[in-house]
Amino acid sequence: MDPIRTPGLPFLKMHGAGNDFVVIDSRRSAGRAVTAELARAVADRHCGVGFDQLAEIRDDPHADYQLVFWNSDGTEAGACGNASRCVAALMMEALGRDEVRFATRRGLLRAVRAEGQVWVNMGAPQLGWAEVPLAHATDTDRLPLEGAPAAVGMGNPHAVFFVDDAEAVPLTTRGPQVEHDPLFPQRTNVEFANLTGPDRLRMRVWERGTGVTLACGSGACATAVAAHRRGLTGRRVTLDLDGGTLVVDWREDGVWMTGPVARVFDGVLSPAWLAP
């Protein structure tokens, strides 16, 4: 996390189970904060860097740091589990600690190093219709949509479908249809999952504001919660996604999630590229 002593804006490229991120430390960028315009430009996989989400590190008076998450379309995301783990791994190394606390739109979250991996507590699931949020009161365990998905809030909304075969779902068709359904006033992330063994699920995801991604940490948490509430699994669930495997453990103090973390490369956005 040492600043790169080159003119421009330093960044890191990371991924967790194929869910890829650009990380920008705004604490060291001469006051330059990420904007929607900058996020969209960096997200361009041809003319920028490319990412599923951008994680911006900011100072916070009540935590080790603050995280702001940006989707590739320039909208803010309320939560991002895999990016939270990736940045937590960086910050633990920088601070020489095995635990960090960080502020998000979701509230104050905690990450720890345990079992040889970085675990993040994504907080308690939001299970009431107004918390998700939905447009009107309805049973969040079985929404009045084709396929009767469950709705779970994890700081961002999720619609979780349990299907016979997640591989067979036309994700690029069904995903945006559900994302923009009027039942979801803030749009929604969409997950499709099927049981493959005791406490094990195959899951695929469409993320609002981004599209198909290889993994989604908050989506894995929402899917594990919904699966347990449906009686399909216990509270500790292994989820196999397109980009790798995540483990979710719904405990009394919140929904914990872990999986692989990779720091791919460090780079600098050039002053010429950043210029209007």
Token digits of residue 120: 């993040």
Out of 47, 80, 86, 221, the active site residue is 80
**In this structure, are residues 183 and 134 in contact, taking their beta carbons and an 8 Å threshold?**
yes
Q: Annotated catalytic, 221? A: no
Q: Got the DSSP string for 136-188?
A: S---TTS-SSTT--EEEESSSEEEEEE-S-GGGS-HHHHHHHHHT-TT-TT--
Token digits of residue 205: 């995801």
Which bin fits 172, alpha (ψ -120 to 50), beta or left (φ > 0)? alpha
d(Cα 235, Cα 244) in Å, to the nearest integer? 20
**Which burial class, exposed, middle or buried, applies to 116 when counting CB atoms under 10 A from its CB (0-12, 13-18, 19+)?**
exposed
Q: Annotated catalytic, 47? A: no
d(Cα 106, Cα 8) in Å, to the nearest integer? 31
Catalytic residues: 80, 216
